[in-house]
Amino acid sequence: MNGIKKEKRMSREAILNAVRKNKPESLPLPEIDLGLFEEEINLVETFIDNLKFVGGRAVQLNNMTEIDAEIKKLYPNASKIVSCVKESALGTISINKETEPHGLEDIDLAIIKGELAVAENGAIWVTENDFTIRALPFITNDLVLIVSRNDIYLHMHHVYEAISKRDRTFGVFISGPSKTADIEQCLVVGAHGAISLTVLIV
């Protein structure tokens, strides 16, 4: 075991030394001028258009109380439901940090709060804090994300500013349902992750 460890250190030093020897003179890190990308667009509309483009569905609601009725309408057959938001009482299966993710294999629906949304690409940012078990938004058959219309940002640049202070564990941008075009470039929705994605904009 000691041998391996020593070899490991040697490679590390060897690589770093080779980099030091071979790298060019230091080049500056550019300051990014976000003004170059600014554009006047309707954030909600653009977000909805892009979400549709990536295969997702957007529904605008007037307030939180409409959430459950809407979900019932959209997913009438869902019975095994994990709800991670206090605004929805549809959950039939409760999870906590100790829940074994493999047991979630046959979940019909997961309801999760999206922290913020990105207009330019229809993506929603969600983190482990929002769904407790990392596998949940992927292993569920269908996925509902709830996002406030005030949390939609124009570009990725702004989003990274907004999430810069978070506790970094695991987070993911989700843009539409899982999909593939690996068979002759034919787009098929529902590869390994959620087969559908609905975003409720409240």
User: Which is closer to other proteins, CB of 71 or CB of 124?
Assistant: 124
8 Å CB contact between 151 and 115: yes
Q: Return d(Cα 58, Cα 122) in angstroms, integer.
A: 10
User: Which is closer to other proteins, CB of 83 or CB of 121?
Assistant: 121
Taking CB under 8 A as the rule, does residue 42 contact other proteins? no
Angle ∠(24,29,33) on CA atoms, nearest 5? 150
Q: Which of 52, 79, 149, 161 binds other proteins (CB under 8 A)?
A: 161
Q: Using CB under 8 A, which of the segments 61-69, 74-82, 144-152, 189-197 binds other proteins? A: 189-197
Please report, as residue ranges, which positions from 82 to 121 form the binding site for other proteins (by CB under 8 A).
97, 101-102, 105, 118, 120-121
Label each residue of 20-80 as H, E or C.
HHHCCCCCCCCCCCHHHHCCCCCHHHHHHHHHHHCCCEEEECCCHHHHHHHHHHHCCCCCC
Taking CB under 8 A as the rule, does residue 20 contact other proteins? yes
8 Å CB contact between 130 and 99: no
> Rounded to the nearest 5°, which phi and psi values hold at 166?
-70, 165
User: Which is closer to other proteins, CB of 57 or CB of 179?
Assistant: 179
Q: CB of 74: closest distance to other proteins in angstroms?
A: 20
Q: Which of 62, 76, 96, 182 binds other proteins (CB under 8 A)?
A: 182
Q: Using CB under 8 A, which of the segments 60-68, 70-78, 85-93, 181-189 binds other proteins? A: 181-189
Q: Which residue matches tokens 């500013």? A: 161
Taking CB under 8 A as the rule, does residue 192 contact other proteins? yes
User: Which is closer to other proteins, CB of 13 or CB of 94?
Assistant: 13
Taking CB under 8 A as the rule, does residue 69 contact other proteins? no
The set of long-range contacts for 38-41, using a CB threshold of 8 Å and a minimum separation of 24, is 39/154, 41/119, 41/154
Q: CB of 192: closest distance to other proteins in angstroms?
A: 5
Residue 127 token pair: 């983190």
